[in-house]
Structure 1
Amino acid sequence: MTTLKDRRYAHEDRSFHSARNFWSGFLVGLGFVAFFDETVFHQLLHWHHFYDLSTTDAGLVSDGFFHAFSWFATVGGLFLVADLRRRKAFWRKRWIGGIFLGAGIFQLYDGIIQHKVMGIHQIRYVENIWIYDVIWNVTAVIMIIIGAYLTAKTRPKK
């Protein structure tokens, strides 16, 4: 049975571990959106590979590295969650804020840096790419706004 004293200490631990709650969510969000991108757009729809400036074989190898990266980020974030839960310091709302920020920042980075600046791949190779770019980047900005709101709302009080 949890006592009032236990809950008070758990809340103090939660505030003490606010950065860990945030970063674990950030890694899970980054890993999840990368995994989703790789699974849906690379494997199921065949719209692009992580690296499209070479052969199909090179694109498939780059997809494998991208997939491994997404799982390393996700598993690393989940190990941090397990540690927070063990310490009774898990802060769900802050963690979810981290998820949205991680997913949104990665998606915006992908949409601007990888798609436009570096040009290593596009979302889809069609004549009018702009609608795909707008949807991709607006979705990223929405996730960033939600994540920033939740993170600010759960900022520990000094």
Structure 2
Amino acid sequence: MAARPGDVPTGRVSPRRSAASAALVGVGAMAAIDEIVFHQLLAWHHFYDRSTPTVGLFSDGLLHAAELVALVAGFFLLADLRRHGRLVPRAAWAGLFLGLGGFQLFDGIVDHKLLRVHQIRYGVDLTPYDVAWNLGALLLVAIGVVLALRVRRADR
């Protein structure tokens, strides 16, 4: 995106910062999707399920606060890059997909399997849920990697 009239470019375009800022938005967005869909609408789990329902609900509130901070910070960083004429939209798209998939993959492997703070669902065979969750994450990460490689090739 081009700088708007009155904006003063302060340096070169910044593909890495564009990607990192959008990745923060992606992490926040996927955390919000997870919380809204799986924690609230479906009520399948809380962020932390190894204690009382009250603690689980409190942990969801902490996750919600963190996702809002990530979304706001990421959008502010993107706006600042745009204002200074340094935003690289294609790199930002790559970062967005890497953030979306990165959060989901971290949640699926670290939260679900290593730390066991919660599972996707309870009382069912987890295998199809785990496979779908982690394959979805890998697909998002793969899209981000392909987009990032295209940005890198275009820079050469």
Does residue 93 of structure 2 align to residue 96 of structure 1? yes
* CA displacement at 1:58 relative to structure 2: 0.1
* CA displacement at 1:153 relative to structure 2: 1.0
What amino acid sits opposite 2:30 in the alignment? Answer: V
- Unaligned runs of 5+ residues in structure 2 are 3-8
Find runs of 4+ consecutive structure 1 residues off by over 3 angstroms.
none
Q: How many residues align?
A: 149
Return the match for 1:29 from 8, 26, 31: 26
User: What is the TM-score normalised by the length of structure 1?
Assistant: 0.88
Deviations along 1:80-126, one digit per CA (max 9) or x if unpaired, are 11101101222211101001101111111100111011111001113
Map of 1:4-83 to 2, 5 A cutoff? 13-14=12-13, 17-83=14-80
Determine the C-alpha separation between the residues in 1 that align with 2:96 and 2:23: 5
Deviations along 1:6-27, one digit per CA (max 9) or x if unpaired, are xxxx7x732xx11110111100
- Unaligned runs of 5+ residues in structure 1 are 3-9
* Structure with higher helix content: 1
Percent identity, aligned pairs only?
Answer: 46
Instruction: Tell me the residue number matched to 2:5.
Output: none
* CA displacement at 1:152 relative to structure 2: 1.4
Determine the C-alpha separation between the residues in 2 that align with 1:139 and 1:157: 29
What amino acid sits opposite 2:141 in the alignment? Answer: I
User: What is the TM-score normalised by the length of structure 2?
Assistant: 0.89
Determine the C-alpha separation between the residues in 1 that align with 2:57 and 2:75: 27
